[in-house]
Structure 1
Amino acid sequence: MAHQVTLQGNAVTLAGNFPTVGQKAADFSLVGKDLNDVSLAQFAGKRKVLNIFPSVDTGVCAASVRQF
């Protein structure tokens, strides 16, 4: 099932699938608070809690934070 979001009034189809509970996450990288890349592999063997926070300098992200 394809998932869609709205971007600037246009429907955009997302690629990939949402993970299921208990599914092992594929490696990925994000930008850390020091603006350096951080990968999931860097924390192998440790328990992890992912807290992804949007960039609040864009209207859509700022609105999502207020609603959440």
Structure 2
Amino acid sequence: MDEVKDEWEVIAVGIGYVVARNGPYGYPDLLDHYYMDEDNAQHVADQLNGHADITDAPRFNED
């Protein structure tokens, strides 16, 4: 059986945000963190979806 994985999305909950997706059998998969800033939640969702831009990360060998 092929498992279809939906992309992670940012969902507003109360005054903050969670990162979630549709899981197996229609049950949601939720991360165990509540974000107050939508940009932080979107960054995590992008990382989980493989869309994160990590080219700006500092490298150990740079001066």
TM over 0.5: no
TM-score normalised per structure 2: 0.26
Higher RCO (Cα < 8 Å, 6 or more apart): 2
User: By percentage of residues, which structure has more helix?
Assistant: 2
TM-score (norm 1): 0.24
